[in-house]
């Protein structure tokens, strides 16, 4: 019988019991026994300590490669990485790969055929089944080097070279200072999202905002010498805050890179941090639209990394001897977007027709706007002149003010219409792109790869798209396992995957416009995940 308890290992063979205290480095024999039994026990203990009793342990190895694009003219704000975490039990190997890119194909700079190519090479060289390869994109907007496939393979190769027995510990934390739901619920029943592509709605039009998921899922992997080999952490937020830069400000690992850097610098030498992006489809960094201070994702990364470090010492060590993997494909309906496109085209024409001629330009508008908002009672001159006119029975200033106020209001209406036109134009272009693909597709369903990986009480669900946060919260709530997390952006990319409720707003926000899925997809996906979790 083998038992792990903190830093003490117990090995019992029939009536023989050996206690090995790793901290003190001593052995105490609790019973007298003959020499033959002694030698047998020591031999078995050595087998255990060297990791040869693989049936009772999980083994792990880590590796990484720098994929920063250093081409001439490219400004590298920080280093991009692909990292590999190899885990194996008695009969299977799996590998988690995290990569500092926006997505696996479709958008961004990953070459076509990346995933099948990587899977095939890993199967041929390292006997890793293609279904046991899980690649999660952090969704940062960094630009990788052209040899990203070769670098991915090299990271996995390094992981296979240093594999050793490990223990797994799990914990969770809360961090609510980093993220905000980017979908804004308006008083007219519609929703708008927070983007740099168009302006924010007026404050008096806003009614509510959506949820966030502040939970950080943490897995700590330690060697049998109690050295930390790897820290896996899962969090949900778009890493799009950027950094101050003379080049592309979004060519950065974003907050996940800074968080992982802090964790790695603080822990044992060689320890590696693996960030798994969660359900960030409708989650933005807080103060994303701030124009008063430089936008710098390092601050957010330090907050997240510090919270992870706080909880590492409190992990609950689990006796994990078996890796469970369920691979599946779910058929999700595609959306015919023609009706939404027609509606938006009609709305665009209405907005254009609503624009009215106005004698003001921006210079005179701004002057009058400030005047009439700062000094409502006496906007055009000092109070005494208004009072003087009133005594004389005149209304020249009052009449002028009424005319000017009407011009300002009309100009404001034009601004609002033009702002809405930018929203319509941005979302129309997304809808038209996906409608073109829908019309050319013979099969009106999408085969989405999903995976469920179970390590003791730690469960990771994967999905190849940008899931809205509510879907992740639903899966966590219904899971029978305490440590259940969702890694979106994994093993593919099918664009945004909003809730069915959010899809009722199709055309009003990026998440529901940059979406190829039709109504009902959410129920199909969540039901299938719940079935898998209940049968584990």
| Phi-psi sector, 175: left (phi>0), alpha (psi -120 to 50), beta | beta
Q: Based on the domain organization, do 179 and 90 belong to the same domain?
A: yes
Q: Could you say which DSSP state residue 68 is in?
A: B
Q: Are 254 and 140 in contact (CB under 8 A)?
A: yes
Closest CA to 259 of 282, 283, 285: 285
pTM of the model: 0.87
Final residue of a structural domain among 386, 414, 440: 440
Burial of 374: CB neighbours in 10 Å, binned 0-12, 13-18, 19+: exposed
Q: Based on the domain organization, do 97 and 228 belong to the same domain?
A: yes
State residue 349 phi and psi, 5-degree precision.
-65, -40
Predicted local distance difference test score (pLDDT) of residue 302: 97
Please count the structural domains in the chain.
Answer: 3
Percent of the chain with pLDDT over 70: 90
Determine the Cα–Cα distance for residues 145 and 126; give it in Å rounded to an integer.
24
Q: Based on the domain organization, do 242 and 290 belong to the same domain?
A: yes
pLDDT, mean of residues 384-393: 95
Determine the Cα–Cα distance for residues 201 and 187; give it in Å rounded to an integer.
11
Per DSSP bridges, beta strands 466-467 and 496-497 are: parallel
Lowest mean pLDDT among 44-58, 176-190, 450-464, 477-491: 44-58
Q: Based on the domain organization, do 71 and 191 belong to the same domain?
A: yes
Q: Based on the domain organization, do 62 and 39 belong to the same domain?
A: no
- Token pair of 127 as six digits: 């006997």
Compute the half-sphere exposure of residue 187: CA atoms within 13 Å on the CB side of its CA.
7
Provide the domain limits for residue 175.
58-335+444-535
Q: Based on the domain organization, do 325 and 397 belong to the same domain?
A: no
Q: Based on the domain organization, do 172 and 251 belong to the same domain?
A: yes
Q: Based on the domain organization, do 131 and 273 belong to the same domain?
A: yes
Q: For the segment 44-87, what is each residue's pLDDT rounded down to a tens digit?
A: 444 444 433 334 589 999 999 999 998 878 888 899 999 999 99
Lowest mean pLDDT among 206-215, 289-298, 467-476, 491-500: 289-298
Predicted local distance difference test score (pLDDT) of residue 288: 93
- Token pair of 218 as six digits: 């943490």
Q: Based on the domain organization, do 159 and 29 belong to the same domain?
A: no
Lowest mean pLDDT among 5-19, 114-128, 129-143, 237-251: 5-19
Percent of the chain with pLDDT over 90: 82
Q: Based on the domain organization, do 361 and 316 belong to the same domain?
A: no
3-state secondary structure of 514: coil
Q: Based on the domain organization, do 425 and 495 belong to the same domain?
A: no
Helix (H) or strand (E) holding 207: strand 206-209
Q: Based on the domain organization, do 221 and 88 belong to the same domain?
A: yes
Render the burial of 212-250: b for 16+ CB within 10 Å, e for the rest: bbbbbbbbbbbbbeeebbbbbbbbbbbbbbbbeeeeebb
């Amino acid at each position: 019988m083998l038992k792990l308890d903190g830093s003490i290992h117990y090995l019992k063979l029939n009536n023989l019991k050996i206690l090995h205290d790793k901290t003190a480095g001593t052995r105490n024999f609790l019973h007298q026994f003959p020499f033959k039994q002694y030698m047998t026990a020591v031999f078995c203990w050595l087998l255990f300590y060297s990791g040869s009793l693989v049936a009772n342990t999980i083994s792990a190895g880590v590796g990484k490669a720098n994929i920063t694009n250093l081409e001439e003219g490219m400004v590298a704000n920080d280093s991009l990485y692909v990292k590999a975490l190899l885990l194996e039990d008695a009969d299977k190997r799996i590998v988690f790969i995290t990569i500092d890119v926006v997505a696996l194909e479709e958008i961004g700079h990953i070459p076509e055929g990346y995933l099948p190519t990587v899977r095939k090479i890993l199967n041929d060289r390292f006997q890793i089944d293609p279904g046991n390869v899980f690649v999660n994109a952090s969704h940062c907007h960094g630009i990788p080097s052209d040899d990203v496939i070769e670098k991915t393979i090299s990271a996995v190769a390094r992981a296979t070279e240093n594999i050793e027995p490990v223990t797994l510990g799990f914990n969770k934390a809360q961090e609510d200072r980093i993220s905000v739901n980017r979908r804004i619920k308006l008083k007219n029943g519609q929703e708008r999202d927070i983007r740099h592509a168009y302006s924010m709605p007026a404050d008096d039009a806003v009614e509510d905002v959506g949820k966030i998921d502040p939970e950080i899922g943490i897995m700590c992997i330690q060697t049998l010498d109690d050295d930390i080999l790897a820290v896996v952490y899962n969090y949900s937020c778009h890493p799009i805050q950027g950094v101050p830069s003379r080049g592309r400000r979004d060519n950065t690992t974003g907050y996940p890179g800074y968080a992982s850097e802090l964790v790695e610098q603080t822990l044992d030498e060689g320890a590696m941090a693996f960030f798994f992006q969660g359900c960030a489809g409708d989650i933005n960094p807080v103060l994303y639209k701030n124009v008063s201070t430089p936008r710098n994702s390092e601050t957010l990364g330090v907050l997240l990394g510090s919270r992870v470090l706080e909880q590492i010492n409190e992990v609950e060590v689990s006796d994990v001897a078996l890796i469970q993997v369920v691979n599946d494909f779910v058929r999700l309906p595609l959306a015919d977007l023609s009706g939404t496109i027609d509606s938006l085209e009609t709305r665009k024409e209405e907005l254009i027709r609503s624009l009215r001629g106005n004698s003001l330009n921006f210079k005179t508008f701004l002057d009058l706007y400030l005047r009439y908002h700062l000094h409502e009672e006496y906007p055009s001159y000092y109070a005494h002149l208004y009072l003087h006119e009133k005594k004389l029975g005149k209304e020249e200033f009052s009449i002028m003010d009424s005319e000017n106020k009407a011009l300002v209001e009309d100009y404001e209406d034009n601004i609002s219409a033009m702002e809405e036109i930018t929203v319509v134009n941005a979302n129309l272009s997304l809808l038209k792109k996906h409608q073109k693909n829908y019309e050319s597709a013979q099969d009106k369903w999408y085969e989405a790869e999903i995976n469920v990986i179970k390590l003791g009480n730690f469960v990771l669900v994967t999905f190849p798209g940008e899931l809205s946060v509510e879907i992740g919260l639903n899966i966590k709530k219904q899971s029978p396992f305490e440590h259940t997390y969702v890694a979106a952006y994994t093993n593919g990319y099918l664009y945004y995957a909003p809730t069915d409720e959010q899809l009722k707003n199709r055309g009003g926000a990026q998440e529901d416009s940059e979406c190829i899925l039709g109504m009902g997809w959410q129920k199909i996906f969540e039901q299938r995940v719940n079935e898998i979790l209940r049968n584990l």
